[in-house]
Chains A and B, each alone.
Chain A
């Protein structure tokens, strides 16, 4: 089974500074990877996904992530944090082909400091 690891359950960033959320995965085959965002009291929304096309993936709201096979990483970045980026972010890997089951990381709660 595939899995993901997200360290730093809580991340504080100052408004206007870069955001970096780290994700490492384990996979026995070429993975499909996703980042989802969850705003308070809402469901999850897809930020971006990697499915073996370009290794640098651009998503919504100015976020992007780079797939690095040698490092088994899929870190999420944004050049300049905005107050509206305060949310929880989940790194997700497709766990099993054939039924689209996902494995979620434990999440990064991002706080943006004015």
Chain B
């Protein structure tokens, strides 16, 4: 298994509070991704990173920000959580520079509930 951990694994918070989720990898992979999973939607990309301090938006980035100050850590922040952000969040990593043979490896997920 790829060395990916996510913390926390479960979190319950209240509307309007800030929340930060952490993804940590031990593979030294260049690319890191944050997805959210909701029933009937599959996984949708929130943000991704292609190197330290290099990030870009995905398809559902509103309300989220990210930071990557080290290769191994990718943080996802909800500045002011809303109930619509209740979801399961997955981090993924891939090694290469976007080649067609790249495979993304997924972490175990974080279940976030916003009350």
Contacts and interface: CB of A to CB of B under 8 A. Distances in A.
Asked if A pairs with B, the answer is yes
Interface of A: 9, 32, 34, 36, 41-46, 49, 51-52, 90, 94, 96-102, 104-107
Interface residues of B, number: 29
Contact of B100 (A36, A41, A44, A51): A51
B106 A44 contact: yes
A105 B42 CA distance: 6
Nearest to B31: A100
A46 B98 CA distance: 17
A96 B31 CA distance: 14
Interface of B: 4, 31, 40-45, 48, 50, 56, 58, 90, 92, 94, 96-109
Contacts of A36: 106
B45 A102 contact: yes
Nearest to B101: A51
A105 B45 CA distance: 13
Given A43-B90, A43-B108, A106-B40, A99 B31 contact: yes
B40 A94 contact: no
A99 B42 contact: no
A51 B40 CA distance: 27
Contact of A43 (B96, B99, B103, B106): B106
